[in-house]
Structures are given as C-alpha cells and as structure tokens.
Amino acid sequence: MQDLFNTEIWNDRTLADLLTLEFLASIAGSILGATLILIIGVMVARIVRNRVVGIGLRYQRLDDTLFSFLGDTARYAILAFTGLFVLNTFGVETTSVIAVIGAAGLAIGLALQGTLSNVAAGVMIILFRPIRLGDFVSISGQSGTVKTITLNFIELATVANVQVIVPNGQVWGNMIVNYSTNATRRVEWIFGVSYDADLTLAERTILDTIMADQRAHSEPAPFIQVNNLGDFSVDFLVRVWCANGDAFAFEADMKRQVKDALDRQGIEIPFPTRTLLRAAE
C-alpha cells in the first residue's frame, strides 16, 4: 500500500514536471521566435530604407529629402508590422492592441494639434517640393538660403548668415517666393533724367551700358521705355534678362555704371529741389 502511494506521488510529480517543462519549452519557443522575427524585421527595415534613400542619391534629378522621407516611412511601417508579429507569437490579440493604439493616437493627436499640423505641412512640402535645399526663398517675411528641411521646420540662412527657423505650418500656409527655381531672371531698373536731356541719347546710353556687361542676355530682347513723367524727371523703365545667380550683383552694379555713363554724356540725373522765398523785411 505504501509502495502504491509512493508510486502515485511519483506519477503526480512526473506529470507536474512534464507540464512545467512543456510550458518552459513553449515560452522558450515563443521568445526564440519573437527574437528571430524582431531581428529579421529590423534588418529588412534597414535594408529597405537604405535602398529607397540610395535611389535618391543615385540620380541627381531626384530630391534626396523626398527619398529620405519615403525611406523612413517604409522603415517605420516595417517595424510596426514586426511589432505586431512579435506580439502575436506570445498569443496577444493584435486587434485589441491596434484598437488601443488607435485610441491613444487620437488622444495624442488632439493634444498635439499644433505640432501635428507642422508635421502634416512638412509632408506636403516634401512631397510637392515647392522649395529644395540650397534655394534662396522668401517665406513669412524671412528671406534666406534653405539649409535644412524637416517634418517640423525649415532652417534658413539669411544674407547676413543668421539662422532662421520657420515652422512648416507657416511655410505651407503662406506665400512662398522661390528665387532659385528658374535658370534665368529678369532684372528691372528705373532711371530718371532731366526734362532738358536728349531722350534718344539717354536711352541709348543706358541700354548700351547695361548690354555691354557680360551678364546681360540678348535673348529675350531687352526692354527700355519711358514709363513715367514725374515731377522732376523723365523715368526710363529698363528690363534685361540674366542668369539666376547673377541677378543681385548685376542689378546693383548697373546702378553705378549707368550713373557714370550718363555723367560722361552730360545727361543730368535730377533730384527734388525746393525754392525758399525769403519774406520781405
């Protein structure tokens, strides 16, 4: 009887041990499977991101910022699916997890409306590319060269090399002036001469001086015409095309050179005068 009792105890213990070993083996298998899935998911995410980013780096006509954004998006999407597969290996109902994440995302979205609006604007900027790195732009009253484009903000360097950070919400929701998009620019001046001046000589002097500069383009044809009869001067409107990168220096240089050329021809550039009458004593 005692031996039988001992046999039953031994069988119960053996069964308990077997159940424990089976449970541990199941847990170990789940951990091993989850680890493998996680490693493979991380590797695939990294490879996909590098491949997508590499496409933008391989071809100069493609925007690097756009493909960097697409690569990061693909990477995070793969990591998200990897996380769901890892949870599924432990028997977690992923549908409930997705529902919880969705509810949490909604709450966070309501709390971070301003930040998320910048992110949404950043996505639109990266996708539609109204500006690119290196462009000289004017945004929200700030002008400068684009140094960085992120999902939250754009960094500009002004002419004085001052850093300016503009939130993407202010960029996408306002007018963007991009001075670097087109290869050529049309520069415009207004030169005034006195009413006594020879207008034909003045017109020829102004146009010859500007067109003698190597930066001036003969096509499209330059434009010069009297466009205003002011109180003190006859004003010429001049428009000449040049390369985009030459526009600012070209415009500034011609003001000095045209003034010197008019002086050599004896053509007066008038300025406002005022006659003061002295009261009789």
Peptide bond into 272 cis (omega under 30): no
Which architecture, in CATH terms, is 184-264?
2-Layer Sandwich (3.30)
Q: Which one is predicted more confidently, 68 or 47?
A: 47
> How far is residue 187's CA from residue 255's CA, in Å, rounded to a whole number?
12
CB 216, CB 246: distance < 8 Å? no
Is the pLDDT at 237 greater than 90, yes or no?
yes
> How far is residue 33's CA from residue 106's CA, in Å, rounded to a whole number?
32
User: Rounded to 5 degrees, what are φ and ψ at 235?
Assistant: -100, 130
Q: Which position has the token pair 């020829």?
A: 204
User: Rounded to 5 degrees, what are φ and ψ at 148?
Assistant: -145, 140
Q: Write out pLDDT tens, residues 75-84.
A: 888 888 888 7
Q: Which one is predicted more confidently, 203 or 132?
A: 203
Q: Provide the percentage of residues in the chain whose pLDDT is more than 70.
A: 74
Whole-model pTM? Answer: 0.61
- Report domain extents, the chain: 2-111, 129-178, 184-264
Output the CA angle 152-161-64, nearest 5 degrees. Answer: 45
Q: CATH code for 2-111?
A: 1.10.287.1260
Give the residue from 81, 84, 89 showing the smallest Cα distance to 34: 89
Q: Write out pLDDT tens, residues 133-175.
A: 899 999 888 899 999 888 788 999 998 999 999 998 888 888 8
Its CATH class, for the domain covering 129-178, is mainly beta
- Maximum mean pLDDT: which of 4-18, 91-105, 242-256: 242-256
Q: Write out pLDDT tens, residues 10-43.
A: 455 565 555 565 655 666 666 777 788 888 888 8
Question: 165 vs 127, 132, 142, 162, 177, CA distance in Å?
Answer: 20, 15, 10, 10, 17
Token duo for residue 106: 């909604």
What mean pLDDT comes out for the span 99-104?
A: 64
Q: Provide the percentage of residues in the chain whose pLDDT is more than 90.
A: 38
